[in-house]
Structure 1
Amino acid sequence: MKTNTDAVLSAKSLRYFLQLIDSMSYTQAAQILGITQPALTQQIKKLERAVGSPLFGQMGKKLYLTNAGLKMEETAKALFSTVNNAVDSIQQYTKSDTGAISLGILSTVEARVIDQFLIEFNQKYPDITLHVGFYNRTELWDKLDNNQLDLAVLYLPDHNATVKNMKQYMAKQIYSESVVFLTHDPEDKFDKMTHHRWVTYPKDYYLPQIVHRFYAGQFVDGKLSTPVTFTSPYQLIKFAEQTDYDTYVSKSFYKAHQAEIALSPVDIKDETNFESCFIYRKNKSEIPRLANFLKEWDKFIDERDYDSRLKNVKVSI
């Protein structure tokens, strides 16, 4: 027997069928649906002809579901659930004010301004779920490459990036950075400091690689003496302050915490310029909520620039 699948999958017939199950009364179901009782009966009979079996039985005045009816109920609910989930997923993908955004931030980036933006963004778009994590550089590029992040905050240029195809990414500048060298004696010159002992980030971190790229020729034997390393700028500062070691941090970190840092910055003729950026796949910019996220960032910075926001960060080391 050939099944009339058009009738079986008619959204109207299935909706009427499920409403009749809820009411177990043709009269009540028809009233709720806003149709006549004969019209409802016609739709149910259409389904029964399609499956070749009665869906409802009757004992006295009471309706009950047959075995075929129970199976059709299960199928109808599963179909509507699938359709509803698909519509919900599509809406979340296409709307600018719903869905989820995953953001990864380099653990050594001064993120207080970004934190403030995320708070304001969440208040404006409470239906967008934000997933934020802090990672090292290798982890971030790997997560971007495997599409596990929508956006990442990283330093550029990154000559040691492990990403397979850099051409597939776009970058949006956050802040123009440089390295700030810190010492105990405000009269110290950089050429004298290169003979000191240093506490720095591990050598595979971005800032040590930038410092080596720009200043290796001025170091004794081409490198700084770094018997101690930390992965956190807070620990670098605290350790340096309580020893005779020198250190360095990003310009943004120094500006945000300058009032709490007892060390003195050293003037450098040639600054090491690099940028903190939002990094994302090119196709991500076509997703409305991500495009909106970046647009809201522009508004946020237009209201008050990044430097001003750094100086107003209310934190202590």
Structure 2
Amino acid sequence: MELKDLTYLLAIRETAHLGKAAQSLGITQPALTKCIQRLEKSSSTKLILKVGRGIQLTEAGLLLCERAQKVVLLMQMTKKDLHALGTGTAGVIRLGVAATAAEFMLPELTHELLQQAPSVVVEIQVGLNDFLQNRLRENKLDLILGFLPESNSEFITRPLVEDPVVVAASQSHPLANIHPTPEQLGHYRWLLPAPQVATRQWLEQRLRSGGYAAPRVQVESNTLSPLRRMLAQTELLSFISRRLLQGESAGEALIEIPLPLVMMPRTFGWQFRSLSELSPAARLLVELAEKRWKW
């Protein structure tokens, strides 16, 4: 049975007249008659009966119409869904996000995405760059929105915004507004990520090259953004995004310690394996970000 023939049968049920059905479909009555003949041949049963000047569906015809209505509706929905997937207005995006990007970039980006593609499902994993890159390498993520490594030939990268990393502390910290000497800086302990994290390695290398001692780490965490309140209420130092220096409440207010030696330039942007591998929905997300943050 062809979908077209089933659609024609439904038109016959609506009009109860071959001529009127043919007219509504924009075909000739003989063509419609051949359609019914094909259906009756394939189902080995009579589907319509002539009654006076009109027609009447047989029990088999009514049953086929009932099933045909479901088939036609399902195909219409399938066509609509396929169009949405093809244009990026539906589908699933597996997105890895750095904590800073999740806080300052993702809300605006997802707002724009869901306005244009309300059926898209976004699966978000927040983590450090090394973890997210491993997930991308294993094909467990489609995209990473985070800071871009200085040298990386493994993934395609698209820069979006600058996001320098600076030494930070509470606004009431003794080093506030002071360019600290090695002796002054060495007096305080640090809140830092694990030793294998690239930002911590960069910090330690720069401090040593400038004659400063390696930071004495007292608190170590796989993410620093949620710990701003801890930083604001202690005399710990940290090395975080400049965007995180002003929290939403006074209890999270931080200040940059002026130490240009260890101001780490950093760029946030996209990482993915290949543009051709991205789904239309993922490509739409990339395009929206690049329109919002024009590099």
Question: TM-score normalized by structure 1?
Answer: 0.68
Go from structure 1 to structure 2 and tell me whether the alpha carbon gap of 1:281 and 1:234 turns closer, same or farther (over 3 Å shift).
closer
Q: Distance in 1 between matches of 2:80 and 2:5?
A: 22
Report the equivalent of 1:47.
39
Residue 18, structure 1, aligned to residue 22, structure 2: no
Report the equivalent of 2:59.
65
Q: 1:114-158: CA deviations, max 9, x gaps?
A: 4234434544x2546362624113553354345454432122218
Q: 1:76-127: CA deviations, max 9, x gaps?
A: 557646644553344223326x22462332224463244234434544x254
Report the equivalent of 2:190.
198
Q: Distance in 1 between matches of 2:135 and 2:14?
A: 48
Go from structure 1 to structure 2 and tell me whether the alpha carbon gap of 1:267 and 1:277 turns closer, same or farther (over 3 Å shift).
same
Residue 153, structure 1, aligned to residue 145, structure 2: yes
Q: 2:228 aligns with which of 237, 242, 247?
A: 237
Go from structure 1 to structure 2 and tell me whether the alpha carbon gap of 1:33 and 1:112 turns closer, same or farther (over 3 Å shift).
same
Q: Distance in 2 between matches of 1:262 and 1:270?
A: 17
Go from structure 1 to structure 2 and tell me whether the alpha carbon gap of 1:256 and 1:276 turns closer, same or farther (over 3 Å shift).
farther
Go from structure 1 to structure 2 and tell me whether the alpha carbon gap of 1:23 and 1:201 turns closer, same or farther (over 3 Å shift).
farther
Q: Distance in 1 between matches of 2:20 and 2:10?
A: 13
Q: Distance in 2 between matches of 1:249 and 1:45?
A: 75
Q: 2:162 aligns with which of 158, 165, 176?
A: 176
Residue 33, structure 1, aligned to residue 33, structure 2: no
Q: Distance in 1 between matches of 2:9 and 2:159?
A: 56
Go from structure 1 to structure 2 and tell me whether the alpha carbon gap of 1:79 and 1:216 turns closer, same or farther (over 3 Å shift).
farther
Residue 227, structure 1, aligned to residue 218, structure 2: yes
Task: Give the secondary structure class of the aligned counterpart of 1:269.
Answer: helix
Q: Distance in 2 between matches of 1:142 and 1:71?
A: 53
User: What 5-or-longer segments of structure 2 have no aligned partner?
Assistant: none
Q: CA deviation at 1:173?
A: 0.9
Percent of residue pairs bearing the same amino acid type: 20
Task: Give the secondary structure class of the aligned counterpart of 2:260.
Answer: coil
Task: Give the secondary structure class of the aligned counterpart of 1:276.
Answer: strand
User: What 5-or-longer segments of structure 1 have no aligned partner?
Assistant: 1-7, 306-317
Whether the 8 Å contact between 1:99 and 1:289 is mirrored in structure 2 is: yes
Q: 1:131 aligns with which of 105, 108, 122?
A: 122
RMSD (CA atoms)? 4.1
Number of residue pairs the alignment of both structures matches = 283
**Which amino acid counterpart does residue 120 of structure 2 have in structure 1?**
T
Go from structure 1 to structure 2 and tell me whether the alpha carbon gap of 1:87 and 1:187 turns closer, same or farther (over 3 Å shift).
same
Report the equivalent of 1:309.
none
Task: Give the secondary structure class of the aligned counterpart of 2:85.
Answer: helix
Residue 267, structure 1, aligned to residue 259, structure 2: yes
**Which amino acid counterpart does residue 43 of structure 1 have in structure 2?**
C
Q: CA deviation at 1:293?
A: 3.8
Q: 2:103 aligns with which of 86, 99, 111?
A: 111
Q: 1:61-86: CA deviations, max 9, x gaps?
A: 742232x8746864x55764664455
Task: Give the secondary structure class of the aligned counterpart of 2:96.
Answer: strand
Q: Distance in 1 between matches of 2:149 and 2:13?
A: 64
Residue 247, structure 1, aligned to residue 238, structure 2: yes
Go from structure 1 to structure 2 and tell me whether the alpha carbon gap of 1:284 and 1:27 turns closer, same or farther (over 3 Å shift).
same
**Which amino acid counterpart does residue 246 of structure 1 have in structure 2?**
L
Task: Give the secondary structure class of the aligned counterpart of 1:272.
Answer: coil
Q: Distance in 2 between matches of 1:64 and 1:16?
A: 16
Q: CA deviation at 1:226?
A: 2.0
